A and B are shown apart, each in its own frame.
Chain A
């Protein structure tokens, strides 16, 4: 079970890295690289990029949903220890992630990019970074809550001699 938990967490973090890093690269780095090409060729070069990017993002979304559902199932008992804080942070994280997925799916739905694609990618990057912040806070809150509910709480984190 421990290995499954590690693999699921790893899959979740790796997929998030691919999604966030990919959106950042597509929004910030790629336009500078493509600026070397004439205007007409820029849009021609963008089409295969969109095709590959779409496959990468769709795969990342599926993996994020599957591994996220499993991680939630494993950790839900801990979220019950302090529902006010933990379930709120979990809800914010999931809502932000679903918003980011929706934007990504909308931007990549057509074969050709729309006029607002670049702006939406920028918005998506901000939403994704906020989702990472919510996840990071959720993990901090979970560790803190579990630590404070442990029978060994007063001593567990302190170094002491026998």
Chain B
């Protein structure tokens, strides 16, 4: 893949990933916080009708966003896989000098943060999908949405921490000629 194509694909992937996250997080917040307050004064059947129609539209958004967020996540992961799979850095101190190995501390390993981000992200997407699958919403949908909102915010925190760990590892070793290296030598 040429530099231009890979850059465009990577940037598009990042953009799609963020936009889909905004739709999931913002939509969930709106659905569980704003709509119930708004329809509180309506009759029971009117409340159900508003909820059902909003859910019908929101379902399509959730499904499309879930598919795109997974695809764009794969693109982004593929792009950063070297950093995620590095367990130590090899520092070549100069001609003739011995090669030194620097273990990355556990909290600084981008791969671990990435794994936490991906696993919690999959849980959040599965909860969102399960809430919109079928013609009848599950019991206590608002409570589930509230839980999913908390999970989604955690997923975003883990994404930020992953990025910080990735940049931090590179900066820590920026003093010399540094190679990221996976476990096998």
Contacts and interface: CB of A to CB of B under 8 A. Distances in A.
Looking at B38, B39, B99, B181, which has the most chain A CB atoms within 10 Å of its CB? Answer: B38
B33 A52 contact: yes
Q: Is the interface of A mostly helix, strand, loop or mixed?
A: helix
A88 interface: no
A17 B181 contact: no
A32 B173 CA distance: 54
Interface in B126-185: 153, 156-157, 159-161, 163-164, 167-168, 170, 173-182, 185
B22 A16 contact: yes
Looking at A19, A23, A37, which has the most chain B CB atoms within 10 Å of its CB? Answer: A37
Given A33-B35, A52-B33, A132-B15, A159 B53 contact: no
Contact of B19 (A20, A45, A156): A20
A161 to B, nearest CB: 7
Contact of A21 (B29, B90, B179): B29
Contacts, number: 184
B161 A6 contact: yes
Contacts of B49: 36-37
A152 B99 CA distance: 15
Interface of A: 2, 5-6, 9-10, 13-14, 16-26, 28-30, 32-37, 41, 44-46, 48-49, 52-53, 56, 129, 132-133, 136-137, 139-140, 143, 147, 150-152, 154-162
Interface of B: 7, 10-11, 14-15, 18-19, 21-31, 33-35, 37-42, 46, 49-54, 56-58, 61, 82, 86, 90, 99, 101, 153, 156-157, 159-161, 163-164, 167-168, 170, 173-182, 185
